[in-house]
Amino acid sequence: MKKKHRNGHIEIITGPMYAGKTEELIRRIRRAEYAKERIIVFKPAIDNRYAEGEVVSHNNSRTTSINIAKASDILRYVDEKTDLVAIDEVQFFDDEIVPIIESLASQGIRVIASGLDTNFRDEPFGPIPTLLAIAEEVDKLTAVCVICHRDATKTQRIVNGLPANYDDPEILVGAHESYEARCRHCHEVPGKPKY
């Protein structure tokens, strides 16, 4: 599929939970809608927190989406008329998402992906590091630390009211009941190896 115009590029919206990543993704989708662009929105099937078939922010902004199990499913929906592909929670996809996003951008499609840059252990999350490296535009948002109220750049997982242990599973889909935004100094990961 070749596009006549060369608007293709990659935009990444990242940061911790509660930073407004999905809200910003939806804002950019709305702007593209006003411009009458053909938009396709995807989210991983694993993310069923708020709605099936919709990307939903923590503030309840929403837009229709297609749930997909794997990155290659995107290719079944995109064609030569597609102007914009938006992907929420991109950290949940494996590394297959990277060449797919890069290929779409090279074909003239604007790709916007949002997702966590680090997991609860404060380690790079899934394909995000590579996407940050190849993107033309990166916006790293911050939240507010629930402890000291400074800028938060970390996602704190909470289990029974306490910080999750380093050995807990990496992926646990949740919201306010399982996660908090924290700054570097208030973020805790018991059992994390010292470097």
Helices and strands (H and E) in the chain: how many: 3, 13
**pTM confidence score:** 0.90
Catalytic (active-site) positions = 89
Helix (H) or strand (E) holding 102: helix 97-106
Instruction: Check if the beta carbon of residue 89 is closer than 8 Å to that of residue 50.
Output: no
* pLDDT for the residue 51: 63
The domains of the chain, with CATH numbers, are 9-142 (3.40.50.300)
Q: For 2-24, what is each residue's pLDDT tens digit?
A: 545 568 999 999 999 999 999 99
pLDDT, position 6: 64
The stretches in the chain having pLDDT less than 70 are 1-6, 47-52, 54, 56-58, 60, 172-177
Structural contact between residues 11 and 136, judged by C-beta atoms closer than 8 angstroms: yes
Q: What is the pLDDT of residue 178?
A: 84
